[in-house]
């Protein structure tokens, strides 16, 4: 994949982070996603899981801002997102996964409703809440269960997350 194709891929991922559709990514997009996930799974914000999710969302925001918010205005524009990913993450997708890990770990704790791991159905709910089209969410959630055991591990999620957002493969 050449540089222009890669930047096009990354640009298409911008909307997934711009939860409120205002044209930039900011702290509120992350806290809004956390609130929506808590509501979907019936978890209160003041619970340990709720607090972990908000802390993870803040850590994810800080990590993204550190990579992409070039002008320091506490907003990541589409161009900053593309440039940040292209320059800082293309050759190191695991870095992006590590930035996302606290948030994803907390999401997993919320989505694992029975303590036996995240099911594809729960992963699908998460994806829909975060703005994925339902049909795409269904397919993606099934694809996350790499070993077909009906449960999705944190490593499977981190690997898929990094691949979707920053690796050059289509």
pLDDT tens digits, 96-143 = 777 888 999 999 999 998 888 899 999 999 999 998 889 989 999 999
Identify the segments of the chain with pLDDT beneath 70. 1-3, 6, 85-93, 165-170
Write out the chain in H/E/C secondary structure: CCHHHHHHHHHHHHHHHCCCCCCEECHHHHHHHHHHHHHHHCCCCCCHHHHHHHHHHHHHHHHHHHHHCCCCCCCEEHHHHHHHHHHHHCCCHHHHHHHHHHHHHHHHHHHCCCCCCECHHHHHHHHHHCCCCHHHHHHHHHHHCCCCCCCECHHHHHHHHHHHHHCCCC
Model confidence, pTM: 0.86
């Amino acid at each position: 994949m050449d540089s222009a194709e890669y930047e096009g891929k990354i640009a298409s991922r911008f909307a997934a982070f711009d939860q409120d559709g205002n044209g930039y990514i900011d702290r509120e997009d992350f806290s809004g996603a956390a609130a929506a996930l808590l509501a979907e799974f019936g978890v209160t914000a003041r619970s340990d899981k709720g607090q972990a999710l908000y802390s993870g969302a803040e850590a994810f925001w800080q990590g993204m801002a550190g990579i992409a918010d070039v002008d320091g205005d506490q907003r990541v524009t589409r161009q900053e997102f593309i440039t940040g990913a292209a320059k800082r993450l293309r050759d190191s997708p695991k870095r992006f996964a590590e930035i996302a890990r606290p948030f994803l770990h907390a999401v997993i704790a919320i989505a694992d409703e029975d303590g036996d791991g995240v099911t594809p159905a729960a992963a699908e709910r998460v994806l829909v809440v975060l703005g994925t089209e339902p049909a795409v969410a269904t397919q993606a959630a099934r694809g996350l269960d790499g070993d077909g055991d009906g449960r999705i591990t944190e490593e499977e999620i981190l690997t898929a997350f990094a691949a979707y957002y920053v690796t050059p493969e289509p």
